[in-house]
Copies of this chain bind each other. A is one copy, B any other.
Amino acid sequence: MPFDISPLELRHRIRAGEYSGNTSGYCPGFVQGNVVILPRDWASEFLQFCQFNTKSCPLVGMADVGDPRLPSLAHDLDIRTDLPSYRIFRDGEMVGEVPDIADLWRDDLVTFVLGCSFSFEEALLADGLDVRNVTEAVNVPMYRTHIECQPAGRFSGKMVVSMRPFLAADAIRAVQICTRFPSVHGAPIHLGDPSLIGISDINKTDYGDPVTIKPNELPVFWACGVTPQVALEQARPPLCITHSPGCMLVTDVKNSQLAIL
């Protein structure tokens, strides 16, 4: 399957069971999103959690209760079938990974789509910056911090961050570029000494893979979409469905459309 397939065509192939892998690299230029599906009686608290913690949980779309469509993000989308793989959590524990959720769908489920770092990484790469996890072809390194999210109802937890190392001048440029994209985590939240945000060993990741930090480079930290996953695990809703890692919702929205400038 060619990488530059259209988002609609990719979703149709996934829906038909012809593709169930990672969406990374497909449909360059288009927004890929993290997906969280919750019962209605948990949805409003999760929405509030997102609004209180916009850098970690930047909402790019939300469906009506029971509606598997998201017309603001994609034409002819069915959230029950159009992701390559889903994870099912019951009471905060993962109980399975499935290729579709048609059997699990209920008319009280609410779908949230959160922005993801693929969008701003594309902008950094387009500007000529060396995005180390891309160069080294690994998952971005992620760390739990000691930064508390602002709680909302049953949702709380500490911020998880992703890290990309840069020379200082490139770190400054990365702040400028990412500031244009508040709906995909926006500007970094920290740079420099990792211990100041509760990371004791930069070579030990909590998620993803370590990357090389070259001499004279600073680690630069962004709020990360794993943050709401941690909050969901702690809140233990009776049912929660998410995308499987790397198997994102591919939308019809262009990354450039998310730029505020």
Contacts and interface: CB of A to CB of B under 8 A. Distances in A.
Interface of A: 168-169, 171-172, 175-176, 179, 187-193, 196, 216, 218, 261
Contact of A261 (B193, B196, B216, B261): B261
Nearest to A167: B196
A166 to B, nearest CB: 11
B189 A169 contact: yes
A179 to B, nearest CB: 5
B192 A172 contact: no
This protein's copies in its complex: 2
Contacts of A216: 193, 196
B169 A190 contact: yes
11 contacts: A168-B191, A168-B192, A168-B193, A169-B189, A172-B189, A172-B191, A175-B176, A176-B176, A179-B179, A192-B218, A193-B216
Given A168-B191, A192-B192, A261-B261, 9 more contacts: A168-B190, A168-B193, A169-B189, A172-B175, A172-B190, A176-B179, A191-B192, A191-B218, A192-B218
A66 B239 CA distance: 79
A205 B42 CA distance: 57
Contacts of A218: 191-192
Given A193-B216, A196-B216, A216-B193, A176 B187 contact: yes
A211 B75 CA distance: 57
Nearest to A217: B192
A32 to B, nearest CB: 25
A216 B171 CA distance: 18
Nearest to A196: B216
Most buried by B among A187, A189, A192, A196: A192
A51 B216 CA distance: 29
A189 B218 CA distance: 14
Contacts of A176: 175-176, 179, 187
A180 B176 CA distance: 10
Contacts of A190: 168-169, 172
Nearest to A176: B179
B168 A187 contact: no
Contacts of A193: 168, 216
Contacts of A172: 175, 187-191
